[in-house]
Amino acid sequence: MSYSPSRASYEHSFRHLKASHVLKGLASTPFDLTVEGNLSPNRIERYSAQAGEFKLLFGTERVNDDVLQALKELAQEAHLVEKMAAMQRGEMINKIEGYPSENRKVLHTAMRDFFMHPNQGKEALKATEAAKKECDKLKAFMSKVDKEGQFTDLIQVGIGGSDLGPRALYIALQAYQKPGRRVHFISNVDPDDAAAVLKKIDPKKTLVVVVSKSGSTLETLTNESLVKEHFKKAGCNPAEHFLAVTGEGSPLDNPDHYLKSFYIWDFIGGRYSATSMVGAVMLAFALGFDQYMNILKGAHEMDRIALQPDFYQNLPLLSALLGIWNRNFLHYPTVAVLPYSQALLRFPAHLQQCHMESNGKRIDRMGHPVDFDTGPIIWGEPGTNGQHSFYQLIHQGTNVIPIDFIGFAESQLQEDINIQGSFSQEKLLSNLFAQSIALAKGQKSDNPNKVFPGNRPSQILLGKRLDPFTMGSLLAYYEHKIAFQGFCWNINSFDQEGVQLGKVLAKRIIDQFSAKRQGKRAERFPEAEALLRHLDDLQ
């Protein structure tokens, strides 16, 4: 019998779960990684798990068998795997009980679930069929683009989830890019962002993908107008170059203005949309349609892994619970995501949005303020660059910062040579492993400046090589880790009311600018007027 979230299931408080009390007691004396012999080879081997393309190494976390058992019981008590299954079936989980809210399904997993059809729910099956239809449209369109050979460049115009995830994936997979193809991104309403991109392209050879689910996103529509004006000045008809990724029937769904429209739906949240048409058009152009499908296959494999009841076979669940231990019981406020892969340059920025927009919540699913910490602050940069930047604070600062390390056994391009007895990839991995050990064990010294306190937890997600399949799997791993933590805290990880107030007030200030230019009076906004006077002082 399948689990379906009920009103009663939303009424539990994370802090009052039986396993939470056990974990609170265990947190008073967490495992000491600095004691000689505690970080043993046996511990490093035993505290590891493998599924799909990845191994998760967590011997450098401050956990022992008692903590792991209590975390396993927490997952069972909070029905985390059952809630993941309900999400993937298409249950209505994007809602706040008793209050106006989005009231939507959450089906980004259905966008990549047309390989096996494993017991999908009716709603998920309908979503998958719609996604398959859009993929067929995209495949036919890209076949035509390849055959005609007119377009060498593509500009993606979008912001937030329409930019961060797709951009991170494109940068990560440039090693697999088709010859003669380039992709550019315009997201910021800062006009310099668009101007810098438009200097690089020949409009006659460029496609433009405008991404907005509602067709009303202020920054995106503004940038679209800037780009269209540039194309017109170059003698190009925008309708022959512009594509739309939008909701069916939105203002952008207009065949008179766009060469082709591809659809997304309200059950696909922006930060979870990279494997939908939001990322698909750009990725299929850059990498080829088959490589885009490989991304979907990798993501789908991790979607299946996230349904595994076995604690050690469900990597995103295991990582999520280790994060719960660090956040709620050891009380660490941030997490650094540090990929030892230059290709993942923008992946921490995507995860910053995905984590913090999802789990930066202060009320539970019943609308009650929570009495515990929810989502941590997420940040990060690739190693080894970060070692020459902020690692000083990580090792010897006053705040303990848990680390998600990401590494790969092999480089993407395999262009490496032996220098001074080792290959560059070996040097890269040596630094990754050394940092994890150093943070855990620390260092004693008579010189206080050389004391490293240790007991700074980390986990390592290790794969063989970053390719389209692995990248899809990595993306889904973090999507599910975030969702599991939200399920555990009993918050809604799929809305983003916190971004709305600033948008509303910005629109009122825009009206102030417009009214002043026309010599009219806008609606009074005294605080904004006071700020705008400072601009006048600079004229």
CB 155 within 8 A of CB 197: yes
CA–CA separation, 153 and 182 (whole Å): 5
User: Which of 102, 219, 357, 479 is flagged as catalytic?
Assistant: 357
State the catalytic residue, choosing from 240, 503, 507, 529: 503
Helix, strand or coil for residue 496?
Answer: coil
For residues 507 and 222, the answer to whether their CB atoms sit within 8 Å is no
DSSP output for 355-371? HHHHH--SB-TTSPBPS
Which residues are CB-neighbours of 383 under 8 A, at least 6 positions away?
338, 339, 340, 405, 428, 431, 432, 435
H helices within 90-217, ranges in order?
A: 122-148, 164-172, 191-198
Point out which residues pair with 153 in neighbouring strands: 182, 206
Q: Contact, 105 vs 94, CB < 8 A?
A: yes
Q: Answer yes or no: are the C-beta atoms of 494 and 106 closer than 8 Å.
A: yes
Strand partners, 195: none
Cis amide prior to 220 (ω within 30 degrees):
no
What's the DSSP call for residue 327? I
CA-nearest of 295, 13, 256, 360 to 135 is 295
Given the residues 233, 388, 520, 534, select the one marked as catalytic: 388
**Token output for 108:** 């980004």
Active site annotation includes 357: yes
Calpha distance 407→411 (Å, rounded): 10
E strands, 299-347, in order = 334-339
In this structure, what DSSP letter does residue 99 have?
Answer: S
| Structural contact between residues 305 and 313, judged by C-beta atoms closer than 8 angstroms | yes
What amino acid positions are annotated as catalytic residues? Answer: 357, 388, 503
